[in-house]
Chains A and B, each alone.
Chain A
Amino acid sequence: MSQTMLVQGNHACALGALAAGVRFFAGYPITPSTEIAEILAKELPKVGGKFIQMEDEIASMGAICGASLGGFKAITATSGPGFSLMQELIGYASLAEIPLVIVNVQRGGPSTGQPTSPSQSDVMQARWGSHGDRGVIALVPSSVQESYQLMIDAVNLAERFRTPVIFLMDEVVGHMREKLVIPKTTPTIINRRKPEPGELPYAPGPDGVPALPPFGEGYHFHVTGLIHDETGFPTGSPEVTEKTIKRLHQKLENNMDEILRYDELHSADAEYLIISYGCSARSAEEAVRMAREKGIKAGLLRLISIWPFPSDLIEEKCARVKKVFVAEMNYGQVTGEVTKVLGRSKVQPVLRVDTQMITPRQILEAITREGN
Chain B
Amino acid sequence: MNETLKKYFRMNRLPHIWCPGCGNGIVVGALVRAIDKLGLNPDKTSIISGIGCSSRSSGYLNFDTVHTAHGRALTFATGLKLARPDLNVIVLTGDGDATAIGGNHFIHAARRNIDLTTIVFNNNIYGMTGGQYSPLTPTHSKATTSPYGHIENPFDITELAKASGASYVARGTTYHTLELINLIADAISHKGFSVVEAITACPISFGRQNKLGNAPAMMKWQKENTISVKAASKLPAEQLAGKVVIGELYRRQAPEYTAEYQKVIDRVTGGNGQ
Contacts and interface: CB of A to CB of B under 8 A. Distances in A.
A47 B65 CA distance: 28
A65 B75 CA distance: 9
B63 interface: yes
A64 B74 CA distance: 12
A219 B264 contact: no
Interface in A51-101: 52, 54-56, 58-72, 74, 88-89, 92
Interface in B75-110: 75-84, 86-87, 104-105, 108
Given A64-B79, A67-B82, A233 B269 contact: no
Interface string B52-68: 00000011001111111
Contacts of B67: 222-226, 234
A215 B80 contact: yes
Contacts of B64: 69, 215-216, 219-221
B52 to A, nearest CB: 13
Contacts of A224: 59, 66-67
B191 interface: no
A286 to B, nearest CB: 43
Contact of A50 (B59, B83, B87): B83
Size category, B interface: 35 or more
Interface stretch (B40-48, B135-143, B205-213, B233-241): B40-48
28 contacts: A24-B82, A45-B269, A50-B261, A52-B78, A52-B79, A55-B104, A56-B104, A59-B75, A62-B76, A63-B76, A65-B76, A66-B79, A66-B80, A70-B84, A74-B79, A88-B69, A88-B72, A216-B64, A217-B43, A218-B43, A220-B62, A220-B64, A222-B58, A222-B65, A222-B66, A223-B66, A225-B67, A233-B59
Given A55-B105, A62-B78, A63-B82, 4 more contacts: A63-B75, A74-B83, A215-B64, A219-B64
Interface in B219-270: 261, 264-265, 268-269
B265 A45 contact: yes
Given A48-B273, A217-B43, A220-B63, A72 B75 contact: no
Interface of B: 10, 13, 42-44, 46, 48, 58-59, 62-69, 72, 74-84, 86-87, 104-105, 108, 261, 264-265, 268-269, 273-274
A106 B76 CA distance: 26
A369 interface: no
B78 A59 contact: yes
A61 B75 contact: yes
A215 B82 CA distance: 13
A294 interface: no
A184 interface: no
B78 A66 contact: yes
Interface string A327-342: 0000000000000000
Contacts of B81: 66
A216 B58 CA distance: 16
A69 B66 contact: yes
B105 A59 contact: yes
Nearest to B67: A224
Interface in A216-257: 216-226, 233-234
B104 to A, nearest CB: 5
A54 B273 CA distance: 23
- The 10 A-B pairs with the shortest beta carbon distances in the complex, nearest first, are A62-B75, A66-B79, A63-B79, A66-B80, A48-B274, A66-B76, A67-B83, A70-B83, A224-B67, A48-B273
Given A50-B82, A59-B105, A63-B79, A70 B69 contact: no
A67 B59 CA distance: 20
A219 to B, nearest CB: 7
A26 interface: yes
